[in-house]
């Protein structure tokens, strides 16, 4: 029953001043944690026996500088590593490529060679640390490098654990670091599923990401709908390749944003688990229960951070992190308060990690399972979220699925429309942001900003030149030619990439071979 309340959540779901049991319809929310449809969590005991993984995202400048930051975070209690790569690496370009000029090491660590990967993880035992790598178009190449470094440490590939993002559809939708057209990109993803299922079984072969969709301006409903639609497209592609759904689906993972609207975000996470269980069960009928469990990493909303009064971002990050924990995340990254200004400093990164540790050890929310279970308000929002997301997925299905919708620019247009409306709401005062359009003041204190060594590009050029002059060029060329020939056929490309990496082929050289065979992607007009 509508009480006439005109207010909505940040994402547009209608609010009610008072919610009662009469407003709720889905009894599945009353189930137990660890049982289908997993609304209350995928594990029976959740954080009461094991905390979420505190996985701070880091990467800047050189591999040596990032390794130093990794060691600092591990020493201060972080449980998993998360690697940010610079833009050239994300685009499959070496540091000495003309297109890399001015971007080497700027928004992440520069990795062109196996030597860079060795230095990045120097002294870090890869059999006991889980590593997430935010890499998409060249994901296979970077995972191959990581696996080879692990072997050099004496760690078999079968024992390494972690995640590659490897989610190309959201790159076309929202982020832009694509290289190849959709069809060969899907081939690379399916090749990775297939190879890792047999040889790297503890690795999460894809992290289907709503994070960047939300950062681009979507609502919570769009973030969840577009992400789940992408995930269905990956499963369909893999099954179409002849892979058994249970051979890869248990290793699928998700990556979500957590924004400022606390209860809407909790409802989004609960709805995500219910929807994934329902969609996988109905469409693919897997035999393994883990194939229908939605596991996810969360990062708090970078887009919500303000350059004005940056210390206020500590409060935003805390609220968002608390929502992620109350929503049942498996791992969490908390942004640093200075990220609207520059890369995090050592001090700000430590505060971000301590925020998670305080939530875990002092707030009490990890002492019980699903602390917001039974909340009329949260359960009503969850029902609304489920209905709205299903409606959006059905629309995408009618367009031919996520891949065809991307090719027609549907998701891109919808995100642009919502992002424009949000910006107008801020500028016209309908959406209030502290320090930006309400409670404004002149900032008096300058915030220290992380700097990047201006000599880094030259140093990386020299490293590349040394690799090229000392490697076995006959072996190197033979491996690249074998990769080229395989790419023209239908063989799984992962073993050929591994061989090329062992022969000291660079990220740019491997991706260049694939560019020659597959071509490059150009988005629809206007995007």
Q: What's the CATH number where 406 sits? A: 3.20.20.240
- Asked, for residue 308, whether it belongs to a domain, the answer is yes
* Beta strands at 252-258 and 162-164: parallel, antiparallel or unpaired: unpaired
- Asked, for residue 340, whether it belongs to a domain, the answer is yes
Q: How many domains does the chain have?
A: 2
- Asked, for residue 66, whether it belongs to a domain, the answer is yes
Q: How far apart are CA 81 and CA 129, in angstroms?
A: 7
Q: How far apart are CA 316 and CA 337, in angstroms?
A: 9
Strand partners, 58: 83
Q: How far apart are CA 355 and CA 451, in angstroms?
A: 24
- Asked, for residue 422, whether it belongs to a domain, the answer is yes
Same domain, 249 and 389: yes
Q: How far apart are CA 438 and CA 429, in angstroms?
A: 8
Q: How far apart are CA 102 and CA 193, in angstroms?
A: 35
Same domain, 397 and 463: no
Cβ count within 10 A of residue 101 = 11
Same domain, 489 and 380: no
Which residues contact residue 8 at a Cβ distance below 8 angstroms, ignoring those fewer than 6 apart?
A: 14, 15
Tokens of residue 409, six digits:
């620019």
Which residues contact residue 16 at a Cβ distance below 8 angstroms, ignoring those fewer than 6 apart?
A: 2, 3, 5, 23, 377, 380
Helix, strand, coil distribution of the chain in percent, nearest 5: 50, 10, 40
Q: How far apart are CA 216 and CA 213, in angstroms?
A: 5
- Asked, for residue 210, whether it belongs to a domain, the answer is yes
* Domain of 477, in residue numbers: 456-518
Same domain, 461 and 312: no
Same domain, 117 and 161: yes
At 233 the pLDDT is: 97
* Beta strands at 80-84 and 53-58: parallel, antiparallel or unpaired: parallel
Place of tokens 């009480």: 3
Which residues contact residue 372 at a Cβ distance below 8 angstroms, ignoring those fewer than 6 apart?
A: 266, 326, 378
SS3 of residue 20 by DSSP: coil
- Asked, for residue 442, whether it belongs to a domain, the answer is no
- Asked, for residue 437, whether it belongs to a domain, the answer is no
Q: How far apart are CA 300 and CA 259, in angstroms?
A: 6
Domain boundary among 378, 412, 427: 427
pTM assigned to the model: 0.92
Per-residue pLDDT of the chain (527 residues; tens, 9 = 90+): 456 678 999 999 999 999 999 999 887 777 899 999 999 999 999 999 999 989 877 777 789 989 998 998 899 888 788 899 999 999 999 999 999 999 999 889 999 999 999 999 999 999 999 999 999 999 999 999 999 999 999 999 999 999 999 999 999 999 999 999 999 999 999 999 999 999 999 999 999 999 999 999 999 999 999 999 999 999 999 999 999 999 999 999 999 999 999 999 999 999 999 999 999 999 999 999 999 999 999 999 999 999 999 999 999 999 999 999 999 999 999 999 999 998 788 899 899 999 999 999 999 999 999 999 999 999 999 999 999 999 999 999 999 999 999 989 999 999 999 999 999 999 999 999 999 999 999 866 677 776 667 788 899 999 999 999 999 999 999 999 999 999 999 999 999 999 999 999 999 999 999 999 999 998 876 55
Q: Where are the alpha helices (DSSP H) in 76-113?
A: 87-90
Burial class (CB in 10 A: 0-12, 13-18, 19+), 342: middle
Same domain, 416 and 502: no
Strand partners, 333: 299
DSSP of 273-323: HHHHHHHHHHHH--SSGGGG---EEEEE-GGG--SSSGGGHHHHHHHHHHH
Find out whether 56 and 334 touch, Cβ atoms under 8 Å: yes
Same domain, 209 and 95: yes
Tokens of residue 391, six digits:
């409606």
- Asked, for residue 448, whether it belongs to a domain, the answer is no
Helix (H) and strand (E) counts for the chain?
19, 9
Same domain, 385 and 467: no
Tokens of residue 310, six digits:
């940056």
Same domain, 500 and 351: no
Same domain, 485 and 340: no
Domain boundary among 427, 444, 466: 427
Q: Count of residues for the chain?
A: 527
Same domain, 462 and 423: no
Q: How far apart are CA 193 and CA 240, in angstroms?
A: 13
Same domain, 78 and 192: yes
Find out whether 394 and 405 touch, Cβ atoms under 8 Å: no
Domain boundary among 406, 427, 448: 427
């Amino acid at each position: 029953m509508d009480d006439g309340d005109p207010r909505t959540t940040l994402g547009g779901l209608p609010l009610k001043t008072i919610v009662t049991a009469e407003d709720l319809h889905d009894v599945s929310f009353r189930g137990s944690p660890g049982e289908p449809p997993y609304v209350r969590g995928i594990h029976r005991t959740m954080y009461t026996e094991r905390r979420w993984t505190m996985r701070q995202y880091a990467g800047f400048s050189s591999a040596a500088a990032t390794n130093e930051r990794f060691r600092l975070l591990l020493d201060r209690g972080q449980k998993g590593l998360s690697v940010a790569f610079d833009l050239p690496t994300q685009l499959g370009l070496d540091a000495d490529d003309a297109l890399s000029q001015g971007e080497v090491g700027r928004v992440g660590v520069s990795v062109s060679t196996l030597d860079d990967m060795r230095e990045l993880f120097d002294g870090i035992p890869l059999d006991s640390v889980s590593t997430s790598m935010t890499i998409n178009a060249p994901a296979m190449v970077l995972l191959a490098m990581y696996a080879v470094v692990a072997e050099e440490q004496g760690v078999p590939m079968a024992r390494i654990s972690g995640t590659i993002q490897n989610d190309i559809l959201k790159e076309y939708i929202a982020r832009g670091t694509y290289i190849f057209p959709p069809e060969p990109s899907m081939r690379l993803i399916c090749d990775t599923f297939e190879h890792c299922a047999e040889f790297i079984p503890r690795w999460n072969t894809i992290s289907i990401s709503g994070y960047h969709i939300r950062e681009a301006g979507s609502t919570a409903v769009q973030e969840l709908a577009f992400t789940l639609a992408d995930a269905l497209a990956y499963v369909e592609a893999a099954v179409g390749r002849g892979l058994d759904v249970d051979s890869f689906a248990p290793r699928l993972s998700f990556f979500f944003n957590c924004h400022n609207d606390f209860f809407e975000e909790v409802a989004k996470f609960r709805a995500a688990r219910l929807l994934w269980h329902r969609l996988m069960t109905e469409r693919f009928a897997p035999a393994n229960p883990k194939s229908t469990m939605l596991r996810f990493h969360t990062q708090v909303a970078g887009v919500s951070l303000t350059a004005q009064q940056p210390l206020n971002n500590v409060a935003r990050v805390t609220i968002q992190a608390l929502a992620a924990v109350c929503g049942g995340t498996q791992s969490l990254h908390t942004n640093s308060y200075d990220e609207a200004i520059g890369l995090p400093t050592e001090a700000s990164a430590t505060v971000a990690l301590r925020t998670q540790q305080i939530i875990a050890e002092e707030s009490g929310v990890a002492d019980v399972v699903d602390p917001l279970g039974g909340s009329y308000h949260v359960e009503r929002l969850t029902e609304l979220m489920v209905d709205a997301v299903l409606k959006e997925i059905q629309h995408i299905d009618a367009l031919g699925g996520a891949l065809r919708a991307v090719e027609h620019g549907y998701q891109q247009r919808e995100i642009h429309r919502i992002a424009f409306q949000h910006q107008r709401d801020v500028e016209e005062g309908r959406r209030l942001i502290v320090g930006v359009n309400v409670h404004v003041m002149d900032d008096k204190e300058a915030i220290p900003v992380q700097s990047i060594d201006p000599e880094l590009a030259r140093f990386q050029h020299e490293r590349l030149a040394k690799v090229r002059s000392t490697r076995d060029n006959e072996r190197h060329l033979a491996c690249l030619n074998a990769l080229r020939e395989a790419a023209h056929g239908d063989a799984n490309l992962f073993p050929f990439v591994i061989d090329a990496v062992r022969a000291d082929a660079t990220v740019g050289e491997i991706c260049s071979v694939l560019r020659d065979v597959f071509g490059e992607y150009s988005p629809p007009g206007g995007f």
